[in-house]
């Protein structure tokens, strides 16, 4: 709920809910930094027990209040959404990542996936430095939610825009993931699976580097670069 009105509903893996919603609101253009939120709380009495009539807190409903109520939209009905409102960053390359650093980060991605190791059914998103060092990793049953969680973390840490960060996802790269990354100022996206054609077109139009099928094999590996090759340092690679 945003300012007391239902805004969106999503199926998510519980945990890091405040990060999730901050990331979602940022991607949708409702907030730009942590100071835009005055209060975030789980809703008491969100559900009424059918048999007893007593209200209870399920910790599945959160109410976010913005500092400037007039900037929030007038919401007349609940809706589901996963796209961003617009992009205002100038994606000028500020670094070039060595392939070995990206492949090492993908190889080490599983080390932080506690839920995946038990279930095999959740996605992960991680923010990396250009040297491949992990800044944060979050898991969720929804790949878009995992991305919202890491961007929400960055927003709460006052790290936006993420001009010098890399987004690594354990899934395919969708158009929505490219939009979310773009809103956060991320110039390099790497996915373990395939990107969609719309994701490629969007990344190319925005000047974002998009890598797919990032797979490490021992100390080696390979990946495809669909656009933005200038952020990949090939000086030490074999021709």
Catalytic residues: 85
DSSP state, 36?
G
Strands 123-128 and 166-169: antiparallel
3-state secondary structure of 143: helix
What is the dihedral sign for C-alpha 23, 143, 169, 59? Answer: positive
Q: For residue 185, give Cα distances in angstroms to 27, 106, 122.
A: 11, 21, 25
Q: For residue 36, give Cα distances in angstroms to 33, 39, 72, 88, 206.
A: 6, 9, 11, 18, 26
């Amino acid at each position: 709920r945003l300012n007391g009105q239902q805004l969106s509903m999503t199926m998510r893996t519980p945990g890091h809910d405040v990060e999730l919603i901050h990331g979602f609101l940022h991607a949708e253009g409702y907030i730009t930094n942590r100071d835009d939120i005055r209060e975030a709380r789980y809703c008491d009495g969100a559900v009424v027990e059918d048999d007893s009539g007593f209200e209870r807190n399920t910790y599945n409903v959160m109410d976010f209040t913005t500092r400037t109520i007039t900037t929030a939209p007038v919401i007349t009905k609940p809706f589901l959404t996963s796209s961003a409102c617009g992009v205002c960053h100038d994606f000028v390359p500020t670094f070039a990542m060595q392939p070995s650093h990206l492949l090492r980060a993908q190889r080490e991605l599983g080390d932080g996936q506690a839920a995946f190791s038990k279930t095999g059914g959740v996605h992960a998103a991680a923010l990396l430095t250009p040297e491949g060092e992990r800044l944060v990793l979050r898991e969720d049953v929804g790949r878009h939610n995992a991305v919202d969680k890491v961007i929400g973390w960055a927003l709460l840490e006052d790290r936006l825009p993420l001009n010098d960060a890399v987004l690594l996802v354990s899934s395919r790269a969708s158009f929505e993931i490219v939009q979310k990354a773009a809103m956060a100022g991320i110039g390099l996206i790497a996915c373990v699976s395939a990107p969609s054609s719309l994701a490629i077109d969007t990344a190319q139009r925005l000047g974002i580097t998009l890598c797919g099928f990032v797979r490490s094999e021992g100390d080696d590996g390979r990946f495809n670069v669909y656009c933005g090759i200038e952020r990949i340092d090939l000086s030490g690679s074999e021709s």
